[in-house]
Amino acid sequence: MTERFTIGDSDVLLVVDIQNDFCPGGNLAVPQGDEIVPVINGMAAKFAHVVLTQDWHPRGHLSFASSHPGKKPYETIEVAYGTQVLWPDHCVQGTAGADFRSDLKTPHAELVLRKGYHRDIDSYSAFYENDRTTRTGLAGYLRERGFRRVFLAGLAFDFCVRYSAEDACREGFEATVIEDACRGIDVDGSMAATRELFKSLGIRCIPASAIAAGLATT
Ligand SMILES: [Zn+2]
C-alpha cells in the first residue's frame, strides 16, 4: 500500500516549467508533456501553497544550439562551468513559447520564479543555476515562508525536476517527486541516471494519488 501524504501548511508544491515550448507543438517538446497538466491541476488544488517556475531565456542564450555555429541541438559544449547540453531555441522571454500552458489551473500560486535569464548560464534547477553557485533565491524564499517539504512536478523529469529535487535536498528540504505528474526527455540515459540519483539521495518518487488534502487546505 502506498504511503499517504497529508498536505499541510509547511508543504509547498513546486511546479516546474509547464510552458508551451516544453509541450507537444512547442520548440523543445517533452513527449506527452501536456498529459500531466490535468494531474497537476488536480493535485495543486490540495496544496495551500504552490510555486511555479518559468524557464525565461534572453535571445541568443548560451544554451541554444543556434548560438554556436556548426552545433546542433542535443550536442554538448564545454563552457566556463562545465559541460552544457545544447537545446533548440526555447522559452524566449516574452514569446508565446515561454507562456504557461493555458490549461494550467493554479490561480493560487504564490510565486512565479523565473530562471535562465542570465545569457551565459543555463539554469535547470529552480535553486541554483548550472554553474552550481549562482542562487536563484528560492531556498531563501522557502525558508522565510517556513516550508519544510517540497513536492515536485513538471517538465522535464530528468532535467529541471531532477536538479530542482536534488537542490531542494541539498538546501535541507525534504524533497518528494510526484512521478506521474512529470514527463522526461531521456538524453543519453538521463532517465535511468535520475532514478539512481534520487535513490542515492533518499528522494522519494510517489504517485499523485498518494497526496491527500490536509486541514490547512481549503
Ligand atoms: Zn531552458
- For the segment 66-77, the average pLDDT, to the nearest whole number, is 96
Q: How far apart are CA 65 and CA 167, in angstroms?
A: 26
- The whole-number average pLDDT for the span 95-117 is 98
Which residue(s) pair with 114 in the sheet?
A: 54
What is the per-residue pLDDT across 190-206, written as a single tens digit (0 to 9) for each?
Answer: 999 999 999 999 999 99
- Which of 17, 21, 89, 122 is labelled catalytic? 17
Residue 215 confidence (pLDDT) above 90 = no
Give 91 Cα–ligand 1 centroid separation in angstroms: 6
Cα 40 to middle of ligand 1, angstroms: 21
For CA atoms 178, 150, 124, 112, the dihedral sign is positive
Q: Specify the pLDDT at position 213.
A: 77
What are residue 200's phi and psi, to 5 degrees? -70, -25
- Give the active site residue among 11, 46, 122, 160: 160
Q: List CB contacts of 192: < 8 A, sequence separation 6 or more.
A: none
For 119-175, what is each residue's pLDDT tens digit?
999 999 999 999 999 999 999 999 999 999 999 999 999 999 999 999 999 999 999
Question: Rounded to the nearest whole angstrom, what is the distance from the C-alpha of residue 116 to the centroid of ligand 1?
Answer: 6
1 pLDDT band (50/70/90 cuts)?
low
Which comes out higher in pLDDT, residue 188 or 128?
128
Q: Which of 115, 158, 167, 182 is catalytic?
A: 115
Neighbours of ion ligand 1 (CB under 5 A): 55, 116
pLDDT at 212 (0 to 100):
87
Residues in the chain: 218
pLDDT digits (tens, 9 = 90+) for 32-49: 999 999 999 999 999 999
Helix axes 190-201 and 162-170, enclosed angle (nearest 10): 20
Q: How far is the CA of 175 from the centre of ligand 1 (A)?
A: 22
pTM score of the predicted model: 0.95
Q: Is 160 a catalytic residue?
A: yes
158 is catalytic: no
Confidence of residue 108 (pLDDT cuts 50, 70, 90): very high
User: Residue 217 — very low, low, confident or very high, per pLDDT cuts 50/70/90?
Assistant: very low
Q: Which residues pair with 54 in a beta bridge?
A: 114
Interatomic CA distance for residues 98 and 26, integer angstroms: 9
pLDDT given at position 218: 42
DSSP assignment of 35-100, as one string?
GGHHHHHHHHTT-S-EEEEEE-BPTT-TTBGGGSTT--TT-EEEETTEEEE-B-S--BTTSGGGSB
The closest alpha carbon to 124, from 93, 158, 76, 149, belongs to 158
Distance of CA 80 to the CA centre of its chain: 23
pLDDT band at 3 (very low <50, low <70, confident <90, very high): confident
Ligand 1 midpoint to CA 123 (Å): 7
- State the residue for C-alpha cell 539554469: 123
Q: How far is the CA of 208 from the centre of ligand 1 (A)?
A: 26
| pLDDT value of residue 28 | 97
- Tell me the C-alpha distance between 193 and 3, whole Å: 25
Residue 216 reports pLDDT greater than 50:
no
